[in-house]
Amino acid sequence: MGDRIFASAKSEKARSGLAASAERNAPALLATDGLSIRFGGHAAVDGVSCRFPPGTLTAIVGPNGAGKTTYFNLISGQLRASSGEVWLNGERITHLPPSARARRGIGRAFQLTNLFPNLSVLENVRLAIQARSKPGFSLLRLADDATEILEQAFAVLGRVHLENRANIAAAALSHGDQRKLEVAILLAMQPRIFMFDEPTAGMSVDEVPVLLDLIEAIKAERQHTILLVEHKMDVVRRLADRIVVLHQGRLVAEGDPASVVNLPIVREAYLGRSALS
Ligand X SMILES: Nc1ncnc2c1ncn2[C@@H]1O[C@H](COP(=O)(O)OP(=O)(O)OP(=O)(O)O)[C@@H](O)[C@H]1O
Nearest to 196 by CA among 36, 59, 74: 59
Binds 44: which of ligand X, Mg ion, none (CB < 5-8 Å by kind): ligand X
Q: Closest approach of Cβ 197 to ligand X, in Å? A: 7
State which of residues 35, 59, 62, 194 lies at the interface with ligand X (CB under 6 A).
62
Residues near 255 by Cβ (< 8 Å), separated by ≥ 6?
242, 243
Residue 107 binds which entry of ligand X, Mg ion, none, CB below 5-8 Å type-dependent: none
Tally helices (H) and strands (E) across the chain.
11, 10
Beta strand segments in 83-197, E: 83-88, 91-92, 106-109, 193-197
Between residues 6 and 39, which has the closer beta carbon with respect to ligand X?
A: 39
276 phi and psi, to 5 degrees? -110, 0
Angle at CA of residue 113, ends 108 and 117, nearest 5°: 130
Indicate whether 39 belongs to the interface with ligand X (CB under 6 A): yes
| Count of alpha carbons within 13 angstroms of residue 156, beta-carbon side | 27
Residue 274 in the binding site for ligand X (CB under 6 A): no
Q: Which parts of 42-61 interact with ligand X (CB under 6 A)?
A: 44
Could you tell me how many residues of this chain bind ligand X (CB under 6 A)? Answer: 10
* Identified binder of ligand X from the candidate list 32, 58, 70, 152, rule CB under 6 A: 70
- Measured from the CB atom, the residue of 152 and 248 that comes closer to Mg ion is 248
* Residue 68 in the binding site for ligand X (CB under 6 A): yes
With respect to ligand X, which residue has the nearer C-beta, 62 or 176? 62
Beta bridge partners of 108: 195
Stretch that binds ligand X, among 12-20, 62-70, 125-133, 147-155 (CB under 6 A): 62-70
Task: Compute the least distance from the CB of residue 143 to ligand X, in Å.
Answer: 46
Q: What is the CA radius of gyration of the chain?
A: 19
Measured CA distances, 96 to 37, 74, 79, 105 (Å): 16, 11, 10, 13
Residue 163 or 198 having the CB closest to Mg ion: 198
Interface with ligand X (CB under 6 A):
39, 44, 62, 64-70
